[in-house]
Amino acid sequence: MNKKEAIKYYKMAASKGNIDAMHRYGSQLITGNYIKKNEKEGAKYIRNAANKKHVEANFDYGHLLNNGIGVQKNTNEALKYYKNAADNGFVKGMFYYAHTLQNEIKGAVNKREVIKYYKLATDKGYIDAIKSYAGCLLNGYGVPLDKKEAVKYYKIAADKGDKDSLAIYNKIKSELDNANYGFGGKTLNFSPQNESNNSNSNVPKQQKPKNSPNFHNSNVPKQQEPANPPNFHNSNDRPEGRTLTFS
């Protein structure tokens, strides 16, 4: 079966109520991958799958809402879908729910809620969540300020290959050493195979995802750029795979 034919069967299955097919067909319409691009129509299919409790579709529709792709931008509504995904165990949903709640909502923020979901994603090893949780500890955001605990989490992220966390870890550890916290004055040396593009991060602060989310057919998570909106693009990967993966 060729890829265009596979998409035809996705549409057929979606019309019969298959929620996975709804999600996949909507994903192809969003990206324009082997089909004419139609973001508005794609968003409808993804929304329908999300409203039928497809976990990843909830996450993806949250992103569409949060970035105004195929739908009117609505961050408050996006939070609902991120949270649906998070509460059903989708790790990236946990992180993006907390991150969006912390950084994109005007007015009073429920800091305990932010911390809760950062910690949930942190405990599952999601690097951006680990960095964000460490930043909260370092700055006393929603939790008591605790530099020693923060440095522990920055080291976890550094050990996973995050260069920014390594720089922050070494800086804070040096400060703690000078204050006689007993870290021994030993500096980590780290040479990751794939270094982060963002190396200008010597000042400890709240971390954000490195790259914008990409709609692509990949099961390998990539950290995302915070300053740029999601780049939902075409992919040459198989349409049979997950189309709207976000990392």
For residue 6, give the DSSP letter: H
* pLDDT at 193 > cutoff 60: no
Q: What is the pLDDT of residue 228?
A: 35
Burial of 222 (0-12, 13-18, 19+ CB in 10 A): middle
Q: Which residue has the higher pLDDT, 205 or 151?
A: 151
Q: Which residue has the higher pLDDT, 41 or 178?
A: 41
- Written as one letter, the residue type at 240 is E
**Mean pLDDT calculated for residue range 140-144:** 97
Map residue 204 onto helix, strand or coil.
coil
Please give the helix or strand (H or E) that residue 231 lies within, else none: strand 231-232
Q: What is the pLDDT of residue 180?
A: 58
Q: Which residue has the higher pLDDT, 169 or 220?
A: 169
Least confident of 69-78, 201-210, 235-244: 235-244
Q: What is the pLDDT of residue 225?
A: 39
Q: Which long-range contacts (CB under 8 A, 24 or more apart) does 163-168 make?
A: 163/190, 163/192, 163/195, 163/196, 163/199, 164/131, 164/196, 164/198, 164/199, 164/201, 164/207, 165/127, 165/130, 165/131, 165/134, 165/207, 166/190, 167/199, 167/201, 167/202, 168/134, 168/201, 168/202, 168/204
- 231: β partners: 214
* pLDDT single digits (tens) 91-132: 999 999 999 999 999 889 999 999 999 999 999 999 999 999
* pLDDT at 71 > cutoff 50: yes
Q: What is the pLDDT of residue 4?
A: 86
Threshold 0.85, pTM exceeds = no
Q: What percent of the chain has pLDDT over 70?
A: 72
* pLDDT single digits (tens) 11-61: 999 999 999 999 999 999 999 989 999 999 999 999 999 999 999 999 999
Q: What is the pLDDT of residue 197?
A: 40
**Mean pLDDT calculated for residue range 153-182:** 89
Tell me how far apart the alpha carbons of residues 39 and 65 are, in angstroms, rounded to a whole number: 12
Task: Note the Cα 173 to chain centre separation in Å.
Answer: 28
Q: What percent of the chain has pLDDT over 90?
A: 66
* pLDDT at 192 > cutoff 70: no
Tell me how far apart the alpha carbons of residues 25 and 46 are, in angstroms, rounded to a whole number: 8
Q: What is the pLDDT of residue 179?
A: 79
Output the CA torsion sign for 231, 237, 238, 242. negative
Burial of 100 (0-12, 13-18, 19+ CB in 10 A): buried
**Mean pLDDT calculated for residue range 221-225:** 37
Closest CA to 148 of 182, 113, 187: 182
**Mean pLDDT calculated for residue range 208-212:** 51
Q: What is the pLDDT of residue 102?
A: 96
